[in-house]
Each structure stands twice: as C-alpha cells, then as structure tokens.
Homo-oligomer: A and B are copies of this chain.
Amino acid sequence: MVTEPWKSSTVVESEGRMVMLDKPMGACARAFLNLFVLLTEIVLLGVLTVTLFWVFHYEGGVAWTNDIKRQFNLHFILMIVGLIFLNGQAILTYRLFGCCRRIYAKLTHAFLFLSAASCVAIGFYVAFEANERVHKGAHFYSLHSWLAIVTCGLFIMQLLVGLVSFLILLCCDGATASFRAALVPVHATFGLIIFVLGSATTLTGFMQAARARLNGQNQNADYRDYPEQGWILNALSGGVALLIILLPLVARNNIRGGRAVFTTSGSVAAVDMS
C-alpha cells in the first residue's frame, strides 16, 4: 500500500488494537503540512549553504592533513552535512515520497541515512586526528564531545537496528510483520531524539568554535565586536534551533490528525499516537 502523507485518518478499534483508516485530509491541513515541509527544506538547505559560505569565505576552506584549523573546518562541514542535512532529509523521506511505492521510500531513507553515517564517521575521525595533534592526548574532555559520543552511539544503533529490522527482515515478510510494526514507533521516536541531540551537540560545537576563533587574538576578530562571522554563527545556531522545532512537527505527518506509521493491507494501517 502507498503511504499518502496528505491523507488524514480516522482511528477505530479493531480486534483489540487501534487501527487507522485513511481519509482525505482537508485542503487547509494539507496546505499547512506542505508549507511546513517546504519551510523545513529551506532551513536545512540554508544551514548547509551558510556553513559552506562561512567556512570558505571567512575560515580559509578545508584540508585533510597538516592544517589543524582547516581540518576542523572540514569537521564542521561533514557534521552539518551528515548530522543535520542528510539526517534531516532521511527523516523527511516519508513526508516527501507519498507518490511512490513504499519500498522506494525505504531504500531512499536507508541510502540517506547511510550517507549521513559516512559523513559523521569521517567527521568524527577528522576532529579526533586534528585534536590529537593540537592537544596531544587530551580527548573527550568537553561536554561537546560527551554529547557527540552519546549522539553517535545512538546513531549507530539506530542504523544497525533499522537496517536489520526494516530491510533484511523483509526476506521473511509475513513472519516479521508484527515485530516490524511494533518497532516503527520506537524507531521514529529515536530518530527524532537523535536529530534533537545532534542539533544540541551542534550548538555546543558552534559555541566552542565561536570562543576559539573569535577570541580577538592573533588577528582573529573579537566576538564582542559583533563581527560578521559572529552574526553568521549566531544565525546558523538560530537555524539549527528552528530545525529542533520544525522537524519533529513535520515528522508527525498530519500535524493535528495523528500519524500512519506502518501500512499493512487495504486502507488500514496501524497507528502510533505516542
């Protein structure tokens, strides 16, 4: 069955469990959902673009080795691309792929999430390697790094559980249907938790970058003089904060009318109302 994000639903009890019957969503609710999805996409793209502009225009671009500042620049970009942009797109997949067969949406979601994980893994390595050379052995001392470890740990678990449960277990479709249905709300909730934790980690990272780069020493600008880089970093943090609000709202499909999270057969789908 095709998931149609513009349809809202009626919830009834059937055989002891809650099921959701699709019915057309009102024009107003549908317009609202589309508007919020569009807004989320604009903010996601905006955060990515402004980060690239900031790194290449003000911070001297990126490098793989031998230039610690540019290595950290690469860390910033990879983390924004992985943890915010691609992770956000992966979450939005089910809101944007209403037109196609569900397996295509699933594969796109998996591909985006795998790409995000690759960026995050390389971004993690880059920061570790640069930090090794600049601080010689002092790792994971800051709250930014602690939050990062928790976020990445959850990210990896989510990836493994998701791949095994929603793709590999499809080989025995019927036998695993109820298990997969039960797992969907957990998976969706943890997806949003990871996004919010990742955003919080990003904000502490921005704060760390602002303090390290805009310290008024060695020809650096001073954060307290309201330099352009300061405005950009603050605007970036505003964008990330906006995503903390927008993405959970949009991910809850019908905004006001509940959410079809797992399609079974015909016009009936199990419902998550948590």
A residues engaging B (CB < 8 A)? 10-13, 18, 135, 138, 141-144, 146-147, 150, 185, 189, 193, 196-197, 199-200, 203-204, 206-208, 210-211, 223-226, 230, 233-234, 236-238, 241, 244-245, 249, 252, 254-259, 272-274
A207 to B241, CA, bound (A): 16
Q: Determine whether the beta carbon of B274 is less than 8 Å from that of A244.
A: no
CB pair A223 B146 closer than 8 Å: no
Residues of B near A146 (CB, < 8 A) are 234, 237-238
CA distance A202 to B130 in the complex (A): 27
Looking at the assembled complex, report how far the CB atom of A66 sits from the nearest CB atom of chain B, in whole angstroms: 22
A204 to chain B: closest residue by CB: B207
How far is it, in angstroms, between the C-alpha of A258 and the C-alpha of B17 when the chains are bound? Answer: 13
Out of B185, B204, B254, which one reaches A256, CB within 8 Å? B185
Q: Which residues of B contact A256 (CB under 8 A)?
A: 185, 272-274
B135 touching A224 by the CB < 8 A rule?
Answer: yes
A244 contact from B196, B226, B245, B272, Cβ within 8 A: B196
Partner of A238, one of B18, B150, B237: B150
A210-B200 Cα distance, complex, nearest whole Å: 16
Which 5 pairs between the two chains have the least Cβ-Cβ distance?
A258-B273, A143-B237, A138-B224, A207-B207, A143-B234
Q: Taking CB as reference atom, which chain B residue is nearest A244?
A: B196
Establish whether residues A141 and B255, one from each chain, have CB atoms under 8 Å apart when the complex forms.
no
Expressed in whole angstroms, the Cα–Cα distance for A185 and B204 within the complex equals 30
In Å, the complex CA distance between A258 and B256 comes to: 12
Q: A185-B256, A256-B185 are in contact. Are A143 and B207 (CB under 8 A)?
A: yes
Contact of A210 among B142, B230, B254 (CB under 8 A): B142
12 A-B residue pairings within 8 Å (CB atoms): A11-B12, A138-B224, A142-B210, A142-B223, A143-B207, A147-B237, A185-B256, A197-B244, A203-B203, A207-B211, A208-B211, A256-B274
A135 to B222, CA, bound (A): 12
Please give the distance in Å from A43's CB to the nearest CB on chain B. Answer: 14
**Nearest residue, chain B, Cβ from A23:** B13
> Chain B residues near A141 (CB, 8 Å)?
223-226, 230
Question: Across the interface, which residues of B come within 8 angstroms of A258, CB to CB?
Answer: 258, 273-274
